[in-house]
Amino acid sequence: MPENETTIDRPALAWFLLLDGGLVFLAVLALLPSVADRVRARLPVPSTKVLRTILLLAIIVHLGEGVTAWVLASKRGLDARRWAVQTTIVGFPSLRLLASHQAT
């Protein structure tokens, strides 16, 4: 088995912290209205309905990126499962790394 089939490039830790931290914060605001109300007292925060819609769309986008990564990695002879999981978690930085791989 060629080495590139089992290896996976990782985006910088900053991407995980920034993007996933943002998603976690969004989820907290969307799913815990009392927290959103406290934040809303100091910052302009959209309504709970809007926050939940944004969260749902973000989840759909990340799942779509994961599926895209699975297909692309499979075509390039890479570990499709690992690329799909990573891309679902962190999104476009992972997909960008995957896109830079040459087909094997």
Q: Which two tokens stand for residue 65?
A: 């990126």
Per-residue confidence at 101, pLDDT binned at 50, 70, 90?
confident
Closest CA to 36 of 54, 57, 14, 58: 54
pLDDT of residue 70: 97
Closest CA to 69 of 78, 77, 80: 80
Beta strands per DSSP E along 1-70: none
The reported pTM is: 0.84
pLDDT of residue 7: 75
Calculate mean pLDDT across residues 5-16. 86
**Type and span of the H or E element at 20:** none
Please list, in sequence order, all residues whose beta carbon lies within 8 angstroms of the beta carbon of residue 52, skipping any fewer than 6 positions away. 30, 31
CB count within 10 Å of CB 102 equals: 7
Q: What does the pLDDT look like over 13-65, one tens digit per residue?
A: 999 999 999 999 999 999 999 999 999 999 999 999 999 999 999 999 999 99
From CA 23, how far away is CA 58, in angstroms rounded? 8
